[in-house]
A and B are shown apart, each in its own frame.
Chain A
Amino acid sequence: MTRTLLVTGGGGVGKTTVAAALGVTAAKAGMRTLVVTVDPAQRLATALGLAGLGHEPEPHADLENLWVAMLDSGASWRAVAERHAAPDVAERLARNEFFLAAAEHFPASQAYAAADQAATYAQAKAWDLVVVDTPPSGGGIDFFTAPAQMADLVGGRLLRWITGGPLPGRRFFYERAARPILRIADTVLGSDLLERVTEFLLDLRTTYDGVAQRGREIERVLKDASILVVTTTNPAPLHEAIRFYRTLPDLASTPKAVVFNRSLPDSWADPPKRLRADVREIVDRWSAETVRQRDFRDEFSARYGATVVSIPLTPRPPTDLEGLAELAVSASGMPWADLGIGFSQ
C-alpha cells in the first residue's frame, strides 16, 4: 500500500527542504519513495538531481529507492481538457485565451495540479511512500479545497451567474439584452468579451462529470494522507500554521505534527551572566530570540495539543543528500513511526 505524506505550511519556511529530507530518510530506510516538489530553490533542486529534468518522476542518480518529480502547474488544465472533453472541444479549449488565462490565474490552479498529481502517484502503487511538498497558494489550504473549487468552476456556477438561470443554450446570446446583469456587463466590458468568456465556459461545462468524479477520487486520497505542518516562529507563517490546525480536521486529517523549522536550542535561553561587552552584543540578541521562540512554541503546543518537532537553525540550508539526511537526524520529536517511516537514531 502507498502511504501519502503531505508537507504543508506558509511560504518561506523551508517546507520543500523538510519534504526532501523526509523523502531521503525514507529512501535510505529502504522504502521506495517519491518526492514531489513545487519550484525548489536552485541549490535544493541540484541536490535532488532535478536540474534539467522534466515533470515525470525520475529515479535519483545517487540514491537507490528515491524518485523525484517536479510539479507542472499547467498540466492539470490540459489534462482536464484531454481526459474529460470530446476531442474537438479539447482542441478548441487548448487554443482558448480564457482557458489559458484560467490555467495561469485561477487561484487554485497550482493547488489543483498538485493534488491531482499527488493522487495519480498515490494510485499508481509504484511507491511505498509519496511525499508531497504542497503549493503555498491560499495559505496552503487551497490544496485541500482545489478539487471542489475546480468542479464548482467547471460545473457552471459562473455560467449560472452570468445568465441568471439554469444552463443556457447558445441562443442566450440573442436574449442577452433582456437581462440587467448582462446589459451592465455589456456597458462595462463590451459585449465581445462576455461572448467569448461564455463560449469558453460552455465548452468547459462538458467536462463536468469527469472533473467531479476525479475530484472525489482526489479528495479520498487527501483524506487518507498523513499531514505535517511546517512553520517558523515568525508571525506570518505561525498564523498560517494556526489556520491549518483549525481548518484541516474538517477537510482532511488532523496534522501528525507541527515542525518548527529554524529553531534555536533551548539552552540558549539562559546564557552565562558575566560576559565581555563584545560577546554580550551577540549573546543578548540570540537569547532574547530563543526565549521568544520557546514562548511561541509552548503556546502553540498548549493551545492545539500538537506534537511539536524542532529542526535547528543552520547557517545555510542543506545542498546535498548528506545534508538532507543530517537535517532529518537533527529534527527532535519527529513522530517517525506515526509517519510510517522506518528510522532509528
Chain B
Amino acid sequence: MAGTRLFLVSGKGGTGKSAVSAALALRAQRQGDRVLAMEIGEEGSLASHFATTPLAFEPREVRPGLHAMKVSRPDALLEYLSLQLRLPGVGRFGGRIARAFDALATAAPAVREIITIGKVYWEVRSGRWDTVVVDAPPTGQIGSYLRAPQSIKELVPTGRIRGQAESMAGTLSDPEITRLVLVTVPEEVPTAETEETLAWLDREKVVPPPRVVVNRVLPVLEVATRPTGVAGEMVDLHQSLVAEQQIWLDRLPGDVQLPYLFGVYTPAEVAANLSDGMEAVL
C-alpha cells in the first residue's frame, strides 16, 4: 500500500481553483480513498463546492470517506504548540499566544506560511488519509508558502521550528508524495501568470514538476454552413472564441483540459461535473 499523496491546488484567482480542488477530492473519494480536503485562507469557496455549511478547523465528513476542513492560523498554531512542541502553559495562555503569533506573522516573513503549511504536513504524516487535497493560496502567494520551510531555515538560526522545517521541505519535494496542480484558463493574463509560476518553480525546485490543468476550454464544433439570425451570431462568437483560446492553449502545457460548463448554476454541480476529468490528475 502506497503512502499518503498530497495534491496542492493553486492558480490565478478566478480560474476555478476551488472547483478543481473539490472535483479532485470527489474523484479520489469515488475510487475508495480516505480523503481530506483542506482549505487555506479566508476567502475560500470549497464548502460551496461540496454544498455544505462553512468549514471548520475540525475535519467534517461531507461525503462517505471524504472529510473537509479549513486551516485557520490561530487554531493551527495552538495545535502546533500544544501537540507538536508539547509546550507547557499553552492551555492557560493559549488565546494570547495565538494572537501574539498571528500579529508576529504579519511582520516576520515565512512564519505565517510555515504554520499553515505545517498543518498540511502533519495531516499528510498522520497516516489517516490516502489522499490530501489542498485548496491552496493563489499563484501570487503560493511561492511564499512552498518556500516557507527554506525561508525558515535561512532566517531562524536556532529554535525547534527550524528542525521541523527540514522535514517539511523533504515532504514537499518528494515526487512520491507531493503533486502541485496549477489551474489556469486559456486567456492572456492567466497564461502569463502560469508561465511565470512555472519558471519560478523550475528555478526554486521546492516541489516536483507541477501538473497544469486548463479549465473552461470551449469545444471545437464545426458547422457546415453559417445560419442566419441569432443562431448565426452564436456560431460566430463561438468560432471566434475558439480561435482566440487556441492562442493561449498553444502556449500552455497541455497536461489536462477541463470543459467550459454551459448553463451550470451551482458550485456543487460544477465540481461534480469536473470530477469526471480528474483521472488524469490523480
Contacts and interface: CB of A to CB of B under 8 A. Distances in A.
A241 to B, nearest CB: 12
Interface residues of A, number: 70
A344 B263 CA distance: 35
A20 B173 CA distance: 42
A257 interface: no
A13 B109 CA distance: 30
A268 B244 CA distance: 21
Interface stretch (A247-255, A280-288, A301-309): A280-288
Interface stretch (B57-65, B186-194, B203-211): B186-194
Interface stretch (A61-69, A121-129, A190-198, A206-214): A190-198
B156 interface: yes
Interface in B228-266: 229-231, 233-235, 237-238, 240-241, 243-244, 262-266
B93 A180 contact: yes
Interface string B103-118: 1101111011000000
Contact of B45 (A13, A189, A236, A271): A236
A230 B15 CA distance: 16
Contact of A189 (B109, B144, B159): B159
Contacts of B244: 315-316
B81 A98 contact: no
A193 B223 CA distance: 66
Nearest to B13: A11
A98 B107 contact: yes
Interface in B93-131: 93, 96-97, 99-101, 103-104, 106-109, 111-112
B55 interface: no
B270 interface: yes
A105 B190 CA distance: 21
Residue of A237, A265, A281, A282 ringed by the most chain B CB atoms within 10 A: A282
Given A12-B15, A41-B192, A236-B45, A102 B106 contact: yes
B9 to A, nearest CB: 14
SS of B interface (majority): helix
Given A158-B104, A316-B244, A12 B189 contact: yes
A180 to B, nearest CB: 5
A281 B169 CA distance: 49
A235 B100 contact: no
A272 B97 contact: no
A178 interface: no
Nearest to B17: A236
Contacts of A197: 104, 107-108
A151 B106 CA distance: 13
A193 B263 contact: no
A234 B16 CA distance: 9
Contact of A272 (B18, B90, B229): B229
Given A162-B103, A187-B85, A188-B159, A279 B227 contact: yes
A332 interface: no
B149 interface: no
Interface in A223-264: 234-237, 239
B237 A189 contact: no
B45 A158 contact: no
Nearest to A192: B157
B161 interface: yes
A162 B159 CA distance: 17
Nearest to A188: B161
A175 interface: no
A158 B267 CA distance: 38
Contacts of A157: 103
B97 A282 contact: no
Nearest to A13: B14
A12 B13 contact: yes
10 contacts: A11-B12, A97-B109, A102-B106, A158-B106, A180-B92, A181-B93, A187-B87, A187-B159, A236-B18, A283-B231
Interface of B: 12-16, 18, 43, 45, 48, 81, 85, 87, 89-90, 92-93, 96-97, 99-101, 103-104, 106-109, 111-112, 138, 144, 155-162, 185, 187-190, 192, 221-224, 227, 229-231, 233-235, 237-238, 240-241, 243-244, 262-267, 270
Interface of A: 10-13, 41-43, 97-98, 101-102, 104-107, 136, 138-139, 153, 157-158, 161-162, 164, 180-181, 183-193, 197, 200-201, 234-237, 239, 265, 267-268, 271-272, 275-276, 278-279, 281-289, 291-292, 295, 313, 315-317
Top 10 closest pairs, chain A to chain B, by CB? A288-B263, A12-B14, A11-B13, A190-B159, A315-B240, A101-B109, A190-B158, A161-B100, A285-B262, A158-B103
